Amino acid sequence: RYEQREDFAVVVQPFFRNTIVPLDSNGKPDLSFFAADCFHFSEKGHAEMAIALWNNMMEPVGEKQTYNNFTYGRSKLKCPNTEKPFLSTLRNSGFRNSPLNLEKTEPSVPYWAVIVAAVAGVLVGSL
């Protein structure tokens, strides 16, 4: 829809698509990333999501990370450089003159996995 615009772009940032619950050193969910309700992110969790979103905006279209590894380190921030001093869009990622596949594709996560994750989240939260 906006592909022909020179002054505006929409880019999907898939950093949360394949993210799983972060685990602690014992292999149990690391609750320090979540608020007291075990559903919403804590300050630490929000900081981690902000880093993942920022890094996704720096990555070229077609090479964006689709998960977050929850390492909680500000040193993993990707920064603009002299070669690419901008946020990555479809055009500046090299797709300007190439045909773009906009067809609907199958989701990378099966629908049942979302249901299992939701039920597991409720069980963990109730414990």
Residue-wise pLDDT for 20-45, tens only, equals 888 888 999 999 999 999 889 999 99
Give CA–CA dist 32/10, Å, rounded: 33
pLDDT at position 38, please? 86
C-alpha 34/C-alpha 56 separation (Å) is 22
Which pLDDT band holds residue 119 (cuts at 50, 70, 90)?
A: confident
Query: And the tokens for 53?
Result: 């979103």
Nearest to 19 by CA among 57, 51, 58, 62: 51
The pTM for the full model equals 0.65
Q: If you average pLDDT over residues 56-75, what whole number do you get? A: 84
